[in-house]
A and B are shown apart, each in its own frame.
Chain A
């Protein structure tokens, strides 16, 4: 079996008396798409921030590419990237300026060529010279995706990648992620509230509730285990604490 790309060992986070994440362990294998699910305040963003190194856990450790994140942060980060609705790209800079800045930060060789590839793949060529702040939510999502792919990351973390998108654009993003994984073999971790998205994209799901990892497994196995028809029903069962696995 292939070595996991990411291993979280008993990671936990407290803010004073508030427990944001109880000790949780999981690992993600190469080339997998894993969903991080949970209601508001379940600990998804906290977990993702810890895995990105934006937030220091109060306990446990994270290993990515076989390296401990705290100690080898700057060896790991060039091979990762992320996108989140909580973090923006500078609105006054044009799309191409943003991509040039991030391409240089990640040390992308033949940057112009890379930007042209992303512009074609993500169909953003027509607004490359427009300021990011002047774009629609759907266009901005594609730009954020372009930034998160500028270094062609081996590990991509996406926090609610289709939040506030219309169904057509959301479907376009999901299709793109499927194709990206197929083309590159990248590992993708995504936090989402959209159960249809999770069922469609994810090989595995980590369920969080009130800062605790309550279950994990493939969508099909979770549906079967809870005796439900889809992930939406599994999610509601867990969120409302009205069911236990069969």
Chain B
């Protein structure tokens, strides 16, 4: 045996541990082409479909004529929200599927660091998924979402933060109720679609639904997106509202996730992951 008398441990700090967990998921993505394909497949199919619809409607609708890219931009930005949330939750689910949570929770990794690593992976997965679709939109429809410039960066950031809030909330539910609840990762975020007003203005909603819609950051962002595309104006007020709501949602999501970890420690769910 060549065991040394001492193995030096260097306090790597939060960044080192966050990087270590992100690295685990980057290794996973790098070594699994089905996972990579899954990331780009649906955003691309969605974008192609809505691109065709746009091409048809451009000749039929004056509203679409005004902003030919509104539907494609809507598809791509909605996918930021959907993929971001799914990216966070799937990263968490990968740990449950591989029954690795026990190892992580007895390592020096703190739950908050775990959350940040999952956010990083959500960003990576979202960039791969929607980035590919955005490039295909340029090639097929000569529409570049990047023409929105800095506004796109602002919308992307606001949607991503919202997606992390939902990712944390859904992950908390899955940790609490087990892998039997994993389908929540895919369908729960869709409940946001009608009130996010991705493809239509908030004004088309019934009066009583409008306040509900404005309680979600996404409705402000999609209104802002249409303002850029139709009126060529960046509505700072809408973006600010979205970011303020995002802060509240992020705090709520983090609280839900950390609370579920606490409950899981009380109920013995961390080392006996299952349905």
Chain A interfacial positions (CB closer than 8 Å to B): 15, 45-46, 49, 52-56, 74, 77-82, 84, 86-94, 97, 100-102, 104-110, 114, 117, 120-121, 131, 147, 151-152, 176, 179-180, 183-184
Interface residues of B in 1-38 (CB under 8 A from A): 1-12, 16-17, 19-21, 23-24, 27-28, 31-32
Contacts of A46 in B (CB 8 A): 268
Q: A45-B271, A86-B272, A117-B3 are in contact. List 20 more A-B contacts (CB 8 A).
A: A46-B268, A53-B265, A54-B106, A54-B265, A55-B266, A77-B107, A78-B9, A89-B103, A91-B98, A97-B27, A101-B23, A102-B107, A104-B20, A105-B20, A109-B8, A110-B8, A117-B2, A131-B31, A151-B7, A152-B6
Per-residue 0/1 for B97-131: is the Cβ within 8 Å of any A Cβ (1 yes, 0 no)? 01111111111111000000000000000000000
Q: Are B28 and A90 closer than 8 Å at their CB atoms?
A: yes
> CA separation between A74 and B28, bound complex, in Å?
27
Contacts of B99 in A (CB 8 A): 86-88
Nearest CB in chain B: distance from A229 CB, A? 33
Chain B interfacial positions (CB closer than 8 Å to A): 1-12, 16-17, 19-21, 23-24, 27-28, 31-32, 94, 98-110, 265-268, 270-272
Which residue in chain B gives the minimum CB-CB distance to A98? Answer: B24
Nearest CB in chain B: distance from A11 CB, A? 14
Which residue in chain A gives the minimum CB-CB distance to B3? Answer: A183
Given A54-B265, A109-B9, verify A104-B23 contact (CB < 8 Å): yes
Q: Are B109 and A105 closer than 8 Å at their CB atoms?
A: yes
Contacts of B27 in A (CB 8 A): 93-94, 97, 101
> CA separation between A21 and B274, bound complex, in Å?
22
Q: Are B266 and A106 closer than 8 Å at their CB atoms?
A: no
Q: Are B17 and A49 closer than 8 Å at their CB atoms?
A: no
Contacts of B6 in A (CB 8 A): 152
A-B contact pairs, 25 of them (CB 8 A): A46-B268, A49-B268, A55-B266, A74-B108, A84-B102, A87-B99, A87-B101, A87-B271, A90-B24, A92-B98, A93-B31, A97-B27, A100-B23, A101-B20, A104-B12, A105-B17, A106-B9, A107-B17, A108-B8, A131-B31, A151-B9, A152-B7, A180-B1, A184-B3, A184-B5
> CA separation between A180 and B12, bound complex, in Å?
26
Nearest CB in chain B: distance from A37 CB, A? 20
Q: Are A105 and B271 closer than 8 Å at their CB atoms?
A: no
Contacts of B271 in A (CB 8 A): 45, 49, 52, 54-55, 84, 86-87
> CA separation between A21 and B228, bound complex, in Å?
63
Nearest CB in chain A: distance from B29 CB, A? 10
Q: Are B9 and A183 closer than 8 Å at their CB atoms?
A: no
Q: Are B3 and A93 closer than 8 Å at their CB atoms?
A: no
Contacts of A45 in B (CB 8 A): 271
Contacts of B267 in A (CB 8 A): 15
